[in-house]
Amino acid sequence: MSRLSLAPWLQPSVIVAGTITAIDLQVLWSRGIRGLVLDVDQTLAPSHQLTVPENVRCWVEQVRAHFKIHLLSNNPSHRVAWVAKELNLPYCLAAAKPSRRTLRQVLKTINLPPTQVAMVGDRLLTDVLVGNRMGMMTLLVKPIGPNGQPSCQDMLYRTELSLLKVLGLSSSSGGSSPGDD
């Protein structure tokens, strides 16, 4: 893809001003969202750790009461399966995002159209790109640290935000989707 054709696919519908627990669920519901597909590494749990922060566990319990949830990770590691088991959530690993193949399977599994599902993750070039390619709402969250707060090791996240600026896209929290009025 050329730079010009790629740029619109990188704009998150929302740049969340915090980690996954800062997502405004009422706004999602009011926009017709009924399902969430969640990245795992640094979105739900810090990389290379077998600990899901307590605030994330509470958040998942709150979300599952109202939304369908499915995990989608590029990581082929059994760690992803462990996190999914800890949270009692369905999952797919080695998803090869931004390829849409596995995400299509996930949408089929949760039985919702792309327009009713939000893709949530900390990476622009995988999570946001695959969600936008599927016509879903996309939420870019800050990478999570071991204590459930935003990670200090967020150079990749900040670099990808800079990429948005270079491409002339919105890089501020709460940025709206191209289709919004």
Query: What are the residues binding Mg ion (CB under 5 A)?
Result: 39, 41-43, 122
Shortest approach of Mg ion to residue 142 CB, angstroms? Answer: 11
Alpha helices for 66-154 (secondary structure H): 78-87, 101-110, 129-133
Least separation, in Å, of the C-beta of 74 and Mg ion? Answer: 8
Q: Report, in Å, the least distance between residue 120 CB and Mg ion.
A: 10
Smallest gap from Cβ 77 to Mg ion, in A, equals 13
Local structure of residue 173 (DSSP, 8 states):
T
Nearer residue to Mg ion within complex by CB, 28 or 142: 142
By C-beta, is 5 or 13 nearer to Mg ion?
Answer: 13
Nearer to Mg ion, 42 or 138 (CB): 42
Task: State the residue for tokens 């599952």.
Answer: 64
SS percent in the chain: helix, strand, coil, step 5: 40, 15, 45
Helices and strands per DSSP (H, E), number in the chain: 7, 6
Q: In terms of CB distance, is 122 or 160 closer to Mg ion?
A: 122
What residues does 118 pair with on adjacent strands? 36, 137
Q: Which residues are CB-neighbours of 6 under 8 A, at least 6 positions away?
A: none
Residue 8 DSSP SS3? helix
Find the shortest distance in angstroms from Cβ 117 to Mg ion.
18
Closer to Mg ion by Cβ: residue 39 or 112: 39
Structure letter (DSSP) for residue 150 = B
SS3 14: strand
